[in-house]
Structure 1
Amino acid sequence: MSRVFNFSAGPATLPEEVLRQAAEEMVDWHGSGQSVMEMSHRGKEFMGIAAAAEADLRELMGIPANYKVLFLQGGASLQFEMIPINLLRGKGTADYVHTGEWAKKAIKAARIFGNVNVVASAEDKAFTYAPAQAGWKLDKNAAYVHYTANETIGGVEFQWTPETGDVPLVCDMSSNILSRAIDVSKYGLIYAGAQKNIGPAGLTIVIVRDDLVGKAQPTPPPMLDYKTHVDAESMYNTPPTYSIYIAGLVFQWLKKNGGVAAMERKNVEKSKLLYDYLGTTDFYRNPVNPADRSRMNVPFTLKDAALDEAFLKGAKERGMTQLKGHRSVGGMRASIYNAMPVAGVKALVDYMREFEKSHG
């Protein structure tokens, strides 16, 4: 059976090369006589795998030495709570930008632990744009400023990095980490669930600046304290070992294929192919402000929603899956993360043209 083009928003497609290597190493990793899934997380074999994964991620993202890299569990959803628990630091108020469903969840969680100042919201236009910073109502005494770099459901992506002065900038990069070059030093904390651009579900990456660790007031329970995980080098409890291993293989794949800069060029090419076509037709529609369109997640609706099931059926017959849009917005969504080849996007555009011709 040939592999499909998997447009899922997450868990998402992985590089075939990585999957084949993992398959070859499944039963016997590098002559150890065991699978990575069977290894002690404190044994020299797995400790080496984790150390190499961290080193490669640091190289790929240019992470400065004064930042810690944590391999945790719980997804971005746990970070919605760990961030205010650790970073409010007695200040009481944090600034949040509201750009859609994932920002909404982060705001709701933060309100359990302190005051949330929503500095800007895109709700007035159904979350179809990223609010320009000129209109943000920032609090200079806020503990931190939080934003969601890419809204997976709505297909809105920040094409710029906010400037927040001395107030730490916190970012949910779950769906666009490693897809474009960023300056990590502009952030106090970056977090990302791995199941979109990095690896399988179960792993969450946190990149946190040294001076934000160990300052929580009051001191959190150990599992919710970044200091616990920093001091234990992500080994306080059993980490998601196999997910870390696959992430490490993806990091190696990225390095071999030109790193983040090369991925960004490919992602620009892929998204341009799809958006350029959407701009030539009124049979399909993308609602997002063109300047804020995501390179990772492209939602679109058909002119007649009654055709949705036929569109999805035809796509599946042509080896394209997981194109159904999120239930909150309907229509379609093509998630075209790093591992999606250009050929997959070309196949989708060709099919969209064909479908329009036969149903328009």
Structure 2
Amino acid sequence: MNRRAYNFNAGPAALPLEVLERAQSEFVDFRESGMSIMEMSHRGAIYESVHTEAQERLLSLLGNPKGYKVLFLQGGASTQFAMVPMNFLGQGQQANYVLTGSWAEKAVKESKLIGDTHIAASSEADNFMSLPNLDDISLSDNPAYLHMTSNETIGGIQFKQFPNTGSVPLICDMSSDILSRPLDVNQFGMIYAGAQKNLGPSGVTVVIAREDMITNSPKHLPTMLRYSTHTSNDSLYNTPPSFGIYMINEVLRWIQERGGLEGIQVQNREKAGLLYNAIDGSGGFYRGCVDAASRSDMNVTFRLESEELEKAFIKASEKEGFVGLKGHRSVGGLRASIYNAVPMESCKALVDFMEHFKQTHG
């Protein structure tokens, strides 16, 4: 391998090189067991130590909030879209949602299959190119919870703050920006995230929830769709995605080694600032897609003056070793996903490429 690709994939996404190399060194013989962690029983002491360590390390990075439990589930955020209303939407209550883009829409769609669903705020009128004002969130008369999507991967918008919902649990899909910045977990009843952007490989879904919310799920639900099943069995009711959880633990270790969430936030803001400055300083050759106040630090979306020019940009970038810069098929355009593991060197290389492309095509 002459060099690593400049990986800007939206997910599965870049993993830290140091983590990959550590996993490579332990792949065949894990902790002198004579086998890979993928080969050993999830009931054995070696795997269970990794499992517990990952849970504890995650809570430690988040300041060890009292009364919260970490679950390692499967099925991605898409399964959580259904599990949330199934477990928390009671008779006579309404599920409340803030509608901000494609992933929030998918969550709302699933909720409507389960019960009464209320849109508490929406930026649909602006084609999801901005965020609703937190002061404009209007809860229903008897809200079971308020659900938000912290970062819309496709559109490229991100909440920098969250509302105080009082006694109404705030539930958040943080699949694409979890652990990218400091976070007060106590604001939330539950946070969930697919691992494949900032936490590890695909196949694991992380849930961080108040224990009082996930200990008494409705008994009529299928066993695997009850949070209480996984809570009472410490996420070991069925065989977990053990290698993915091992990788999450190593990514969490890597974050700790870089100054925790405060250190990671500094790096992420520098990377995002570098790209947005290149877009805004291009004299209109590149155009940011979303309102500047709503811009994501994780997914930088931008356009050129024509689809033909965008295609030429993608083709030329791929020849130079850039991967994943094509926008989502539902919206088109261009997108650079710059999650925690994307190094500053890749972002600098992209800015240099953007400048060269402008000079040769402007």
State the TM-score, normalized to the length of structure 2: 0.97
* Structure 2 equivalent of residue 149 of structure 1: 150
Q: Which amino acid aligns with 2:103?
A: W
- Determine helix, strand or coil for the equivalent of 1:69: strand
Figure out how many residues of one structure are paired with residues of the other and give that number.
360
> 1-side partners of 2:360 and 2:210: how far apart?
55
- Determine helix, strand or coil for the equivalent of 1:137: coil
Contact 2:218 2:226 in 1 (8 A): no
* Structure 2 equivalent of residue 118 of structure 1: 119
String of CA shifts for 1:162-218, please: whole Å, max 9, x gaps: 221110000000000000111001100000000000100000000110221244445
Superposition pairs for residues 134-213 of structure 1, below 5 Å? 134-139=135-140, 141-213=142-214
> 2-side partners of 1:283 and 1:326: how far apart?
20
Q: Which amino acid aligns with 1:317?
A: K
> 2-side partners of 1:162 and 1:243: how far apart?
32
Contact 2:134 2:162 in 1 (8 A): no
Contact 2:93 2:142 in 1 (8 A): no
String of CA shifts for 1:246-265, please: whole Å, max 9, x gaps: 00100111111111110001
Q: 2:286 aligns with which of 275, 284, 287?
A: 284
String of CA shifts for 1:140-177, please: whole Å, max 9, x gaps: 52000000000000001001012211100000000000
> 2-side partners of 1:102 and 1:342: how far apart?
28
Q: Report the alpha carbon displacement of residue 291 of structure 1 after superposing the two structures with TM.
A: 0.9
- Determine helix, strand or coil for the equivalent of 1:268: helix
- Closer, same or farther in 2 for the Cα pair 1:26/1:200, shift >3 Å? same
- Determine helix, strand or coil for the equivalent of 2:30: coil
- Determine helix, strand or coil for the equivalent of 2:246: helix
Q: Report the alpha carbon displacement of residue 90 of structure 1 after superposing the two structures with TM.
A: 2.9
Q: Which amino acid aligns with 1:14?
A: L
Note if 1:358 corresponds to 2:360: yes
> 2-side partners of 1:257 and 1:78: how far apart?
32
Contact 1:95 1:142 in 2 (8 A): yes
Q: Report the alpha carbon displacement of residue 294 of structure 1 after superposing the two structures with TM.
A: 0.2
* Structure 2 equivalent of residue 254 of structure 1: 255
Q: Where in structure 2 are there 5+ consecutive unaligned residues?
A: none
- Closer, same or farther in 2 for the Cα pair 1:63/1:219, shift >3 Å? farther
Contact 2:75 2:205 in 1 (8 A): yes
Moved over 6 A (4+): none
Note if 1:239 corresponds to 2:205: no
* Structure 1 equivalent of residue 299 of structure 2: 297
Note if 1:348 corresponds to 2:333: no
Q: Which amino acid aligns with 1:177?
A: I
Q: Which moved more, 1:54-63 or 1:348-357?
A: 54-63
- Determine helix, strand or coil for the equivalent of 1:38: coil
- Determine helix, strand or coil for the equivalent of 1:242: helix
> 2-side partners of 1:173 and 1:63: how far apart?
18
Q: Which amino acid aligns with 2:186?
A: S
String of CA shifts for 1:304-338, please: whole Å, max 9, x gaps: 22122221122122221111100111111000000
Q: Where in structure 1 are there 5+ consecutive unaligned residues?
A: none
* Structure 2 equivalent of residue 106 of structure 1: 107
Contact 1:89 1:217 in 2 (8 A): no
Alignment RMSD: 1.1
- Determine helix, strand or coil for the equivalent of 2:96: strand
State the TM-score, normalized to the length of structure 1: 0.98
Q: Which amino acid aligns with 1:314?
A: A
